[in-house]
Amino acid sequence: MNRECILMMADDDPDDREFVREAFEESGFRGEFRYVDDGAALLDYLALARDSGRRGAHPIPDLILLDLNMPRIDGHEALKRIKSDERLRRIPIVVLSTTESQTDVERTYDEGVNSFITKPASFAELVEMAKRLKIYWLELVKLPGETAAR
Amino acid sequence: MTDGANDEFEALQARVRELEERLESRASEETFRLVVETAPYGMVVADASGSIVLCNPQAERMFGYTTEQLLAARIEDLVPPRFRSAHPRLRQTFHEDPVHRPMGAGRDLLACRRNGSEFPIEIALTPLPRSEGLLVLATIVDITSRKRGEEELLRYSRRLEQSNAELESFASIASHDLQEPLRKIRMMGERLAGLCEAELGEQGRDYLDRMIRAGDNMHRLVRDLLEFSRVGMRQQSFRLLPLGTALGEALAALELLIEETGAEIRAGELPSAEVEETQMVQLFQNLVGNALKFRREGVSPIVEVRGSVETGATGERVRIEVADNGIGFDPRYGERIFQIFQRLHGKGKYGGTGIGLAICKKIVDNHEGRIQASAEPGEGSVFVVDLPLRKRRQFDTDSDPK
pLDDT score for B3 = 66
A102 touches chain B (CB under 8 A): no
Chain A residue numbers with beta carbons less than 8 Å from the beta carbon of B183 are: 98, 119, 121
A19 touches chain B (CB under 8 A): yes
Structural domain spans, chain A? 6-132
What is the three-class DSSP state of B383? Answer: strand
For residue B74, the cross-strand partners are B51
Q: What is the DSSP letter of A134?
A: I
Positive or negative torsion for Cα A78, A80, A85, A90: positive
Q: Which fold has domain A6-132?
A: Rossmann fold (3.40.50)
- H-type alpha helices, B231-271: 243-253, 255-261
Whole-angstrom CA distances from B239 to B272, B279, B317 are 10, 12, 15
Element (H, E) at B136: strand B133-142
**Residues near B68 by beta carbon (within 8 Å), at least 6 away in sequence:** none
Question: What would the 3-class secondary structure string for B271-332 be?
Answer: CEEEEEHHHHHHHHHHHHHHHHHCCCCCCCCEEEEEEEEEEECCEEEEEEEEEECCCCCCHH
Positive or negative torsion for Cα B212, B352, B234, A95: positive
Contact state of B176 with A15 under an 8 Å Cβ cutoff: no
What is the three-class DSSP state of A11? Answer: coil
> What's the rounded Cα separation, in Å, for the pair B220 and B354?
11
* A 81-100: CB under 8 A from B: 98-99
pLDDT score for B18 = 82
Mean pLDDT, chain A, rounded, equals 86
pLDDT tens for chain B, residues 1 to 402: 566 777 877 887 888 888 888 777 777 878 888 888 888 889 999 988 889 988 999 999 999 999 899 899 889 999 999 988 888 888 888 888 888 887 766 567 899 999 999 999 988 888 888 877 888 988 999 988 888 998 999 999 899 888 877 876 777 677 767 778 888 888 888 888 888 888 888 888 888 888 888 888 888 888 787 777 777 666 678 888 999 999 999 999 899 889 989 989 998 899 999 998 888 999 999 999 999 988 888 888 999 999 999 887 778 899 999 999 988 888 888 788 888 777 777 665 676 777 888 889 989 988 889 999 888 777 889 999 999 988 876 544 444 343
Phi, psi (degrees; rounded to nearest 5) at B93? -55, -40
Element (H, E) at B138: strand B133-142
Chain A residue numbers with beta carbons less than 8 Å from the beta carbon of B181 are: none
Spatial strand order of the sheet with A63-66 comes to: A32-36, A6-10, A63-66, A93-97, A115-118
pLDDT score for B347 = 60
Nearest CA-CA distance, residue A121 and chain B, Å: 6
> What's the rounded Cα separation, in Å, for the pair B220 and A86?
43
Spatial strand order of the sheet with B315-324 comes to: B264-267, B302-312, B315-324, B381-388, B370-375
Contact state of B183 with A69 under an 8 Å Cβ cutoff: no
**Best residue of B184, B187, B212, B219 to probe chain A, by most A CBs closer than 10 Å:** B187
pLDDT score for A147 = 42
A122 with B187: CB under 8 angstroms?
yes
Distance from chain centroid for Cα B362: 17
Nearest of A115, A119, A67, A69 to residue A92 by alpha carbon: A115
pLDDT score for B349 = 64
Chain A residue numbers with beta carbons less than 8 Å from the beta carbon of B194 are: 123
Element (H, E) at B375: strand B370-375
Per-residue pLDDT tens digits for A99-145? 777 888 999 999 999 999 988 888 889 999 999 999 998 888 887 65
Reported ipTM: the value is 0.73
Chain A residue numbers with beta carbons less than 8 Å from the beta carbon of B176 are: 69, 98-99
Counting Cβ atoms within 10 Å, is residue B355 exposed (0-12), middle (13-18) or buried (19+)? buried
Contact state of B180 with A98 under an 8 Å Cβ cutoff: yes
